[in-house]
Amino acid sequence: MKPVPLDELPVHQAPLSMARVASTDKNFYDRYYFNAHDRTGERFLVLGLGIYPNLGVIDAFATVRSGDRQWAVRFSDAYEAGTLRTEVGGFRIEVIEPLQKLRVVCEHESLSFDLVWEGSFPATLEERHILDAGPRSILDATRFAQVGSWSGSLTFDGDELLVDPGTWMGSRDRSWGIRPVGDADPAGRLGEEPTGGHWWTYAPLRFDDYSLLVIVQESPDGHRTLNHATRAFADGRVEQLGWPRIEITYRSGTREPESARLHLTTSDGAPLVVDVQTLGSVSLTVGAGYGGDPEWQHGQWKGRDWSSATEYDLTDPGIVGRLPYSTVDHIARVTCEGSVGYGLFEHAVMGRHDPSGFTGWLDLAP
């Protein structure tokens, strides 16, 4: 193996060339995720770019929902190790000011945009995210999150929209580590001894004076395996908010959260209650390439210089029937102590979850 340009810089974290990552796990990944909306729930854009060094793949996606229609574009190519490449096909990310300002561009006839992200509060480093399946950790990752605003333009369905930072906002994250990517691993023992369920809530929320980040992951019996609740201020202070308790009202006949209440605790022991109303949503299994998307999965080898585009009718029974088995990103309108904010309420309740009253994979909310 030859040295690569990054080896010139003092950035090494292991006794390896920067052409290699320390883990040999095929599922090592390094990813950007963003969402954008105009606070109405009428339009919702979700996008991301990922690098999979041990698979030799770089890919990206963008999907926008308006009403019951959704447009998605995907790009994939070979990844050349040891570079700072954040561009694939017609999609690219430019880091203008690390942890604060980025530009994201997508050029495709079905969906295009030229957007600049500006962080509203400092990025928050999350607790390490680990998810076990039997004897193995299938997810072991680090991530930081941030809320912010957008400016630029967005074009889909033949219409160009001006993206005004006074209206358009969203959240983003950067994560890296191990998670299922590319072609599925053999089921092995887990094919006969499945975990039975997964419950997940992820909520980066923005108010005028601070941002909140709440993360809860639980096993089917309600045992908590990830817990994070913090409030970040513009001056860099981060306040821990205890052990969150979450009440969710599911829409009848679905597993979709209609509203939620987050019970937090300030550093002096006072209760802090956040009420959540969900607006528009995007399922990460529809066009976005996350687990369960039947068209394309992150990290899959699709050949060099590959792209695709799809328009979806979200009333299609085949898509509706997929939702109870997917992670869904919801635009959230939130209130806390009289203040109104907006953000992301990402939620999944797959299979059994005793505290929510779900007993298996098929039952829905009454």
CA distance 226 to 214: 10
Choose among 142, 125, 216, 127: nearest CA to 179.
142
Looking at residue 285, its pLDDT comes to 95
CB half-sphere exposure, 6, CA atoms < 13 A: 15
Choose among 130, 149, 289, 156: nearest CA to 219.
130
CB neighbour burial string for 45-79, b if at least 16 within 10 angstroms, e if fewer: bbbbbbbbbbbebbbbbbbbbbeeebbbbbbbbeb
State which H helix or E strand residue 44 sits in: strand 43-52
Q: Where are the domains of the chain?
A: 5-9+21-182+194-356
Beta carbons within 10 angstroms of residue 32's beta carbon: 19
Beta bridge partners of 33: 48, 173
CA distance 327 to 216: 14
For the record, the structure tokens of 28 come out as 């090592």
Residue written as token pair 């969402």: 35
CA distance 310 to 299: 19
DSSP 171-216: EEEEEEEE---SSPPP-GGGGTS---EEEEEEEEEE-SSEEEEEEE
Alpha-helical (H) ranges within the chain are 317-320
Looking at residue 194, its pLDDT comes to 80
**What is the phi-psi region of residue 100: left when phi exceeds 0, alpha when psi lies from -120 to 50, beta otherwise?**
alpha
Q: Which residues of the chain have pLDDT under 70?
A: none
pTM of this structure: 0.95
Strands 129-133 and 136-156: antiparallel
Decide: 200 and 216 in contact? Cβ < 8 Å. Answer: yes
Pick the CATH number of 5-9+21-182+194-356 from 2.40.370.10, 3.90.1150.10, 2.30.29.30, 3.40.50.300: 2.40.370.10
